[in-house]
Amino acid sequence: MITLPALHIEGLITGSPYVELEKSTYIISSTGYTSKVDYSGKGWLSGKKNSFTASMYKHGKEKEPIYLVEGQWTDTFTIKDAHKHTVDSYDAKKTAKTPLQVKPIEQQDALESRRAWSKVADAINKGDMNVTSQEKTLIENSQREMRKKEQASGTEWQRRFFTKVANHPEFETLVKEVPGGGVDADQTGGIWKFDPAKAQGT
């Protein structure tokens, strides 16, 4: 079970804005362990962008971490054990990247991110904020219209790989390990479970 971090824009004063993560992510395992990742970044006066600290601990024992991680996920970070001895490190800049393989834009589904947002991306690359805003608004309004039609017809958009479930006992148990744990239906639409049958049909 994972809770997603929030996004915010940094670099507004410097004139070089970029997206950063903030707040926390929790990964809750059914084996009895929790991993927590806290995101931070370059603030007004100090800090480095894309910074994070992370820990892994037994459920309910956050103050007794088994592993600690600290650094920048786009640069270097260090992994330490419970005694704060370094056990491993990672250097993103020295690690070979796996080339991203995607279909050409024209072969993608109309709702795939790269195709749906291609005009927005082009406008951003050109530095045209007026077109960026216009194209973004078109997408958002189109999505709102789709939701209105679904509500009017009493139907719901079918996810490609997931199926909505009324309840999930294991999830309900694990989510209690997240502070203030629960499902924000306005943000998630409920509980969604990966559906192998749907995946096989793609």
pLDDT along the chain (202 residues), means of 10: 56 55 87 93 70 94 96 94 96 92 92 92 92 94 93 88 87 85 72 87 64
Element (H or E) spanning 158, and its range?
A: none
Ordered by where they begin, the domains of the chain are 6-94 (2.40.160.120), 105-200 (3.30.70.3490)
> Exposed e or buried b for every residue in 117-148, given b needs 16+ CB within 10 A?
eebbeebeeeeeeeebeebeeeeeeeeeeeee
181 alpha-carbon distance from chain centroid: 17
31 by Cβ neighbours in 10 Å (0-12 / 13-18 / 19+) ranks as exposed
Q: How far apart are CA 64 and CA 29, in angstroms?
A: 17
Q: What's the pTM?
A: 0.71
pLDDT at 46: 61
Instruction: Specify whether the backbone of 152 is left (phi greater than 0), alpha (psi in -120 to 50) or beta.
Output: alpha
